[in-house]
Structure formats: C-alpha cells, structure tokens
C-alpha cells in the first residue's frame, strides 16, 4: 500500500508543456472508452437491483476499477502528480484516511451486496443531480487553480502547495461523487471535499 496524491514540489517544465498534454489526450480517450463500458455495466446493474435488491459483484468490480482508474487520470491531467497512469486499469484497493475524524483509515469502494430499490429510484437520482452541480462548481475553481499553477510551474519549476491542495481535494471529492453516482456505494458524500489522505494498494 502506498500513499497517493502526495504534494510534489518540483515540476518538470518540459514534461508539463510537451509530454503531459499529449499523454493526457491519449489517457483521456482510454478513460472515455472504459467509461462507456462502465456505463453499460451500471445500467445492467440497475436492472439487477430492481429485480433482486442486490448488486452483482462482477459488474460492481468493473465499475470500481473504472472509478479507481479515473482518479489516477484526473490526478495526472490536473498536474498533481508526475506519475503516468498506465493505459489499462489495474485491480486495486483504495483507502481513505479522513483527517477531520481522528485519522481513521478505511477501505473505500468496498462491495456492498444489498441495495435499496427506493434509494435507487428516488433518492440517488435527486442527490446525484445536486452533487453533480456542486462538483461542477468545484471543477471550475479547480480549473482556475490548475491554470495558475501551470503559470507558476513555468516560471519557477515548482508547484504552489496551496493550489495543489485545493485541486487535490477536488480530485478526491470527484471520486466520492463518482462512486455514489455509479451506484458503488450507498454512502452519501458531503456537499464539499474533506481533508483526506489517499492510499492505493495494487492487487496485481
């Protein structure tokens, strides 16, 4: 298990100007393809839940891999990390350490078998819609921070820690929203990012 999204002060200007834009385009296309497949899995999962009241573990596992992969892609495209995501998602476990709640670490995106039909039909669509609006607002601010960060890196060759911290919170928050809107968990995310440490454990 290794800590992910740690603050990296130094940044390579050449990587930021040439390598990152090209690789970001390629990895975003790959993510979009996986996203389409994950969307199909989610739709099938919805039907299964309506019939049985339970989630299918195989479908859940694929969507979970997609969400885990997306946080790596977003972290790279937002210049939080210089680690290049691989072009195929790897099986991994994600852990959150919530700093506001006594440094308690727990696995996130764990498989939950039972699912409420009422929650799927009424509560989740409404709450997901509100969360998406909130996330879009945070995304706009994170985009501005990223642009300022880009200028700072070109001038100094280093990242600003405050800007890095805000974008990092947005990335973690987007993962929590994606997990809920993709029906991986019944836990409702807050309407704002929390201060958390992220840990990844590869299973392959």
Question: 101 by DSSP, 3-state: which?
Answer: coil
- 192-197 long-range Cβ contacts below 8 angstroms, 24+ apart: 192/134, 192/138, 193/138, 193/169, 194/98, 194/99, 194/100, 194/169, 195/98, 195/99, 195/100, 195/169, 196/96, 196/97, 196/98, 196/99, 196/172, 197/3, 197/96, 197/97, 197/99, 197/105
Domain range enclosing 82 = 2-202
Task: Say what the pLDDT of residue 48 is.
Answer: 93
Task: Say what the pLDDT of residue 102 is.
Answer: 58
Task: Say what the pLDDT of residue 100 is.
Answer: 65
Which range among 3-7, 80-84, 123-127 has the greatest average pLDDT? Answer: 123-127
How many domains does the chain contain in total?
Answer: 1
Cα(153)–Cα(151) distance, integer angstroms:
5
pLDDT tens sequence across 107-121: 888 888 888 888 888
DSSP 83: P
Task: Say what the pLDDT of residue 45 is.
Answer: 92
pLDDT tens sequence across 126-154: 999 999 999 999 999 999 999 999 999 99
């Amino acid at each position: 298990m290794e800590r992910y999204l740690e603050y990296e002060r130094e940044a390579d200007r050449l990587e930021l100007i040439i390598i990152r834009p090209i690789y970001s385009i390629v990895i975003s296309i790959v993510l979009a393809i996986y996203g389409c497949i994950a969307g199909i899995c989610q739709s099938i999962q919805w039907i299964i839940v309506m019939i049985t009241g339970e989630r299918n573990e195989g479908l859940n596992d694929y969507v979970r891999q997609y969400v885990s992969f997306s946080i790596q892609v977003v972290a790279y495209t937002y210049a939080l990390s210089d680690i290049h995501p691989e072009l195929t998602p790897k099986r991994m476990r994600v852990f959150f350490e919530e700093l506001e709640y006594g440094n308690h670490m727990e696995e996130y995106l764990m498989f939950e078998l039972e699912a409420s039909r009422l929650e799927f039909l009424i509560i989740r669509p409404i709450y997901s819609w509100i969360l998406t609006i909130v996330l879009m607002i945070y995304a706009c601010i994170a985009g501005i921070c990223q642009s300022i960060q880009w200028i700072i890196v070109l001038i100094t060759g280093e990242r600003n820690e405050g800007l890095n911290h805000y974008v990092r919170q947005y990335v973690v928050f987007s993962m929590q929203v994606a997990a809920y809107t993709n029906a991986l968990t019944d836990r409702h995310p807050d309407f704002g990012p929390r201060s958390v440490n992220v840990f990844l454990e590869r299973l392959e």
